[in-house]
Amino acid sequence: MKELVIIRYNAGNLFSVSHALRRLGYEPVVTDEPERIRQADRVIFPGVGEASSAMRYLRERSLDEVIRGLTQPFLGICLGLQLLCEHSEEGETECMGVFPERVKKFPPQEKVPHIGWNRVQFSEDELFRGLPQGSYMYFVHSYYAETGADTAAVCDYILPFSAGLKRGNFHALQFHPEKSGVLGERILKNFVEAE
């Protein structure tokens, strides 16, 4: 069985992701040990929290360098997506730069944060295998990644934004697959079981 690691840092949501994976029959390891992360077959980087304090924690432990150097399949979720981008307006934070996209705050034209179910359009990618276009996924966020060359899924709330990003071995999702019912579970299963 492939070793599946969830990166532990000072952001919430680690345990809901862990529970979702256990429901699917996987046994993830939750750790912030660099060597354990490097040796994993699959790495998940979830998070709910604030960008600048999360990046400070990662830098203090050199986990940002560890993450950027990974070559195995990697999945960022929510704050995990935003921290993989170039820059976040939240705390004017320089992030990891895996993706060149910038993270901005939603303009206050509608209810912010964006909380609840919304439709997502997916690119053709192994991660989204078996998901119908326009599937509803669950979001909780006030900041969004712009669309760009790495956009792999799009949602429209106030404006179109990257609901998913993909570059090489790095995938990232703004929505929460672990809270998105059977279709979200399908994404997690696709990630763990992809060749």
Domain containing 20 — which CATH number?
3.40.50.880
**How do residues 113-127 score in pLDDT, each as one tens digit?**
999 999 999 999 999
Domain count across the chain: 1
pLDDT class for 14, splitting at 50, 70, 90?
Answer: confident
In percent, the amount of the chain with pLDDT more than 90 equals 91
Q: Is residue 1 predicted with pLDDT exceeding 70?
A: no
Q: Is residue 128 predicted with pLDDT exceeding 60?
A: yes
Q: Is residue 32 predicted with pLDDT exceeding 80?
A: yes
Looking at residue 2, its pLDDT comes to 75
Catalytic residues: 78, 176, 178
Buried-state track 147-180, b at ≥16 Cβ within 10 A, e below 16: eeebbbbbbebeeebbbbbbbeebbbbbbbbbbb
Where in the sequence is the domain holding 74, given as residue range(s)? 4-193
Looking at residue 112, its pLDDT comes to 86
**C-alpha torsion angle, residues 88, 94, 100, 103 (rounded to 10):** 0
Q: Is residue 12 predicted with pLDDT exceeding 80?
A: no
pLDDT class for 108, splitting at 50, 70, 90?
Answer: confident
Q: What is the mean pLDDT of residues 7-29?
A: 92
Across all residues in the chain, what is the average pLDDT? 95
